[in-house]
Structure 1
Amino acid sequence: MFQRIRRRAKEPTDAQRKFAELHAQLQGQVPPGFGVPAPEPEAAAPVAVVDDFLPPELRVPSHDQVDGRMMPWAQPLVLDGEMAACAECGAYRDWLVLSTRGEIWLRCRAGHQQRETRIDTAWYNRHSGPADATHATFEDGLRHLGY
């Protein structure tokens, strides 16, 4: 009985036979256009060069052209399990977070500024949104944010 099963397995199946017949028919045939050199492309009319940059008034300065960035932070700022507070007036919320030259500074509503070493530029980049405006001076930026 097992010999019959083995003998049947050695014989090709119908699908294998049909594939072998089709392969034999297609052997030696070459697709049309194969081996013929491609025609030369037609010369196109010259295209006018267009400046694809935005106009100067719509361009945003890159990070190396800006002295710093700022964002408001209304809620209390908890760093390493403790709440950040102003060293001079004790304010613990409604901060202005400043990022300049790789340093982070906190500014309270009263105008006191202190360097915050527990925050780095990567933290600032993760938490800040896209810039909505650029300003020529620090005071212009403060006025824009309502400080």
Structure 2
Amino acid sequence: MRKQRTQQPDWAALHQWAATAQAQILQDLPPLGPQPAEATSGPAADDFLPADLRVPSHDQVAGRMMPWRSPLVIDGEVAACPECGKYRDWLILSTQDEVWLRCRAGHQYRETRLDTAWYNRHAGPADATHATFEDCLRHLGH
């Protein structure tokens, strides 16, 4: 019994046929939108959002902060202010790739066990932006 030899396809001819078919399909399609000659004349918008709805990007703000009312547990320990001993009602600040804790009494210290990734995982969306640090403290009730 002889083994029948299979015929290999002519890849060059197949490629040429596909290119011709694609060109024909694209030629028959209607244009997707207004052509440049049909475009309406008017002022071009610089962005899709009005200026009063835009939120500053991360490189446009000096930092972010969020309240943390309950005790803050880091690596199994409750964080406490080194100056006054308070252990709840924190403001957690994230600035320049550092995380700082601020107690209700106004003492601040850098918390090296927390990083920006931790802050981003726990922070919700910003509800306001402020021009100064003091304005933000007032907004958060501190």
* TM-score past 0.5 threshold: yes
State the AA in 2 paired with 1:99: S
Matched, 1:63 2:91: no
**What residue number does 2:96 align with?**
101
Q: Do structure 1's residue 84 and structure 2's residue 102 form an aligned pair? A: no
Per-residue CA shift, 1:77-126, capped at 9, x if unaligned? Answer: 11111110000000000000000000000000000001000000000000
Query: Kindly, what percent of the aligned residue pairs are identical?
Result: 71
Specify every segment of 5 or more residues in structure 1 that has no aligned partner in the other structure, as ranges. Answer: 1-33
CA drift of 1:53 comes to: 2.5
Structure 1 40/93 Cα, relative in aligned 2: closer, same or farther at 3 Å?
Answer: closer
Structure 2 residue matching 1:132: 3-state secondary structure: coil
The residue type paired with residue 124 of structure 2 is G
**Could you state the TM-score of these two structures normalised by the residue count of structure 2?**
0.72
TM-score, with normalisation over the residues of structure 1?
Answer: 0.70
- Structure 1 equivalent of residue 141 of structure 2: 146
Q: Which one-letter code corresponds to 1:46 in the other structure?
A: A
- Secondary structure at 1:125's aligned position in 2? helix
The aligned length equals 114
Correspondence 1:46 to 2:39: yes
1:119 maps to: 114
Distance (whole Å) between structure 2 residues aligned to residue 48 and residue 128 of structure 1 = 44
Structure number, greater radius of gyration: 1
Residues 19-68 of structure 1, C-alpha deviation per residue, up to 9 Å, x if partnerless? xxxxxxxxxxxxxxx8xx54585784224464143122211000000000
Tell me how large the CA RMSD over aligned residues is. 2.4
Listed as ranges, the gaps of 5+ residues in structure 2 are 1-20
